[in-house]
């Protein structure tokens, strides 16, 4: 996949009407945005487009309303927050297709913004195209969205791995030379692209999270690129059981034990250091106030591992200190519970203190880094967990592939 794409800076925007896909999939509480990180991340592109004398129509999804107009998934609170952040009026359309919204878009003057209602209020936005009819539904919906403007900007890296109507198919109904990346998309592609194509070495990947199944593809792909892989989180115990250790009540995907063995063998073949925890913080129940102790890799019956232990932290931190490129996806333990947050927080600290290019790959890792207060010390915090994983797996991202090449 060519990641060298045209951006908003490569086209003349004056007098144009821009349709921009943003990722305003933000958490709401009582109709108010609880975390506006994703809205703020889109501001540089939004401001640039408006400064160039264009008008702007914004498309986004929010939550999973499953093709129904569910009021609690309305994008209106995000539009209101955007107005506050921009310090100017932001118009709102009660739908994203149809005559009304087309009229609202057509009436926009240069410098004006219109936010459209949730694209996922329509099942055609993200329908699984299993039949020709489904595919046609999505194409028809995308063609309607394309009527909202004459330039398309994708700044929603978080959904770039999805071939949805508003993230990819829309470009089939627009002038391809005017389908470009926003600044956020450009930054994601630069950091992740460089990490994949031309990393400074040693290249260390820190892979955590609950399940091996969700990370198998990325582990296999990373074997061709990295020097060292550090494993944490619940997924570590499937590997440790595969090596013959007792894991007590720790999380384990028994159906993947053979796959875990194959993965360990592949690491040996590829000469990749594949490091697993050497000690663990275990608990007698899944509870912050559980009885805990630090044990080596044979976990007593009745106990479950909920965090990596101090020796593991020291060993992993030593690897991180030597690194020149770091990719991190997934926490080291149940960091949401204060008593099991230490492993993840110490790894955060090690990454923050290293002089490597550090890329934090979306999802829980971002939440952990934000919780640690060290976000400013990371080179790049990805806005898309699933998208950054698929990118690292070497897969084509439909929301990127559809944009004009530079």
Q: Where are the domains of the chain?
A: 8-185, 192-392
Question: Quick one: angle between helices 310-322 and 342-353, nearest 10?
Answer: 20
Return all residues near 193 (Cβ < 8 A) that are at least 6 apart. 3
pLDDT score of 382 more than 90: no
CATH number corresponding to 8-185: 3.40.50.1260
- The rounded distance, in Å, linking the Cα atoms of 18 and 177 is 13
The answer to whether 38 is a known catalytic residue is yes
- Provide the 10 A C-beta neighbour count for residue 332: 31
Say yes or no: do domains 8-185 and 192-392 share a fold: yes
pLDDT at position 392 is 80
Dump pLDDT digits (tens) for 351-367: 999 999 999 986 688 88
- Average pLDDT value for residue range 298-324: 97
**C-alpha dist (Å) from residue 297 to 278, 289, 354:** 6, 22, 28
Q: E strand or H helix at 358, and its extent?
A: strand 357-360
pLDDT at position 37 is 85
The answer to whether 193 is a known catalytic residue is no
C-alpha closest to that of 317 among 359, 357, 345, 280: 345
The answer to whether 5 is a known catalytic residue is no
- Average pLDDT value for residue range 311-321: 98
pLDDT at position 362 is 66
pLDDT score of 371 more than 70: yes
The answer to whether 53 is a known catalytic residue is no
- The region of weakest confidence among 300-304, 369-373, 397-401 is 369-373
pLDDT at position 191 is 85
Q: Which one from 377, 386, 394, 395 is the annotated catalytic residue?
A: 386
Instruction: Choose between 218 and 273: higher pLDDT.
Output: 273
pLDDT at position 347 is 96
Q: Which one from 209, 232, 234, 363 is the annotated catalytic residue?
A: 363
Name the H helices within 148-235.
183-197, 216-222
Return all residues near 373 (Cβ < 8 A) that are at least 6 apart. none
- The rounded distance, in Å, linking the Cα atoms of 212 and 256 is 8
Return all residues near 212 (Cβ < 8 A) that are at least 6 apart. 235, 238, 239, 253, 256, 259, 260
Q: Which one from 5, 17, 21, 38 is the annotated catalytic residue?
A: 38
Q: What is the mean pLDDT of the chain?
A: 94
> pTM of the predicted model, to two decimals?
0.81
Dump pLDDT digits (tens) for 147-196: 999 999 999 998 999 999 999 999 999 999 999 999 999 998 988 887 77
Dump pLDDT digits (tens) for 328-340: 999 999 999 999 9
Q: E strand or H helix at 381, and its extent?
A: strand 380-381
pLDDT score of 235 more than 80: yes
- Average pLDDT value for residue range 27-38: 89
Q: Are 81 and 23 in contact (CB under 8 A)?
A: no
Q: Are 152 and 95 in contact (CB under 8 A)?
A: no
- The rounded distance, in Å, linking the Cα atoms of 224 and 209 is 21
Assigned CATH class of 192-392: alpha beta
- Average pLDDT value for residue range 8-19: 97
- Average pLDDT value for residue range 37-57: 96
- The region of weakest confidence among 17-21, 192-196, 368-372 is 192-196
Q: Which one from 91, 139, 211, 349 is the annotated catalytic residue?
A: 211
pLDDT score of 372 more than 80: yes
pLDDT at position 363 is 67
- The region of weakest confidence among 68-82, 197-211, 306-320 is 197-211
């Amino acid at each position: 996949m060519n990641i060298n794409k045209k951006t908003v800076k490569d086209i003349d925007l004056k007098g144009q009407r821009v349709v921009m896909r943003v990722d305003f999939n933000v958490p709401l509480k009582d109709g108010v945005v609880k975390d506006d990180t994703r809205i703020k991340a889109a501001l540089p592109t939004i401001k640039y487009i408006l400064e160039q004398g264009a008008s702007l129509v914004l498309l986004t999804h929010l939550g999973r309303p499953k093709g129904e107009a569910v009021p609690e998934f309305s994008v209106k609170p995000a539009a209101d927050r955007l107005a506050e952040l921009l310090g100017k009026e932001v118009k709102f359309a009660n739908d994203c297709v149809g005559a009304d919204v087309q009229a609202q878009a057509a009436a926009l003057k240069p410098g004006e913004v219109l936010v459209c209602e949730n694209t996922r209020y329509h099942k055609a936005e993200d329908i699984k195209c299993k039949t020709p009819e489904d595919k046609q539904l999505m194409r028809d919906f995308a063609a309607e969205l394309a009527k909202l403007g004459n330039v398309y900007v994708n700044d929603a890296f978080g959904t770039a791995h999805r071939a949805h109507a508003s993230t990819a198919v829309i470009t089939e109904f627009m002038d391809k030379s005017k389908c470009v990346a926003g600044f956020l998309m450009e930054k994601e592609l630069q950091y992740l692209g460089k990490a994949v194509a031309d990393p400074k070495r040693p290249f260390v990947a820190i892979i955590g999270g609950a399940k091996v199944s969700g990370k198998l593809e990325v582990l296999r792909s990373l074997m061709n690129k990295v020097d060292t892989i550090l494993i944490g989180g619940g997924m570590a115990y499937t590997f440790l059981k595969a090596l013959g250790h007792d894991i007590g009540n720790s999380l384990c995907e028994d159906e993947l034990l053979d796959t875990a063995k194959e993965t360990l063998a592949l690491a040996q073949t590829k000469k990749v250091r594949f490091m697993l925890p050497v000690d663990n913080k275990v608990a007698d129940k899944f509870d912050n106030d559980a009885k805990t102790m630090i044990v080596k890799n044979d976990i007593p019956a009745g106990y479950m591992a909920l965090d990596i232990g101090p020796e593991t932290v020291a060993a992993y931190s030593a690897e991180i200190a030597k690194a020149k490129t770091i990719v991190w996806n997934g926490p080291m333990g149940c960091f949401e519970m204060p008593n099991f947050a230490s492993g993840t927080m110490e790894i955060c600290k090690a990454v923050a203190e290293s002089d490597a290019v550090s890329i934090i790959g979306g999802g829980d890792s971002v939440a952990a880094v934000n919780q640690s207060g060290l976000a400013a010390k990371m080179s790049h915090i990805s806005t898309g967990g699933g998208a950054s994983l698929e990118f690292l797996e070497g897969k084509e991202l439909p929301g990127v592939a559809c944009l004009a090449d530079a």
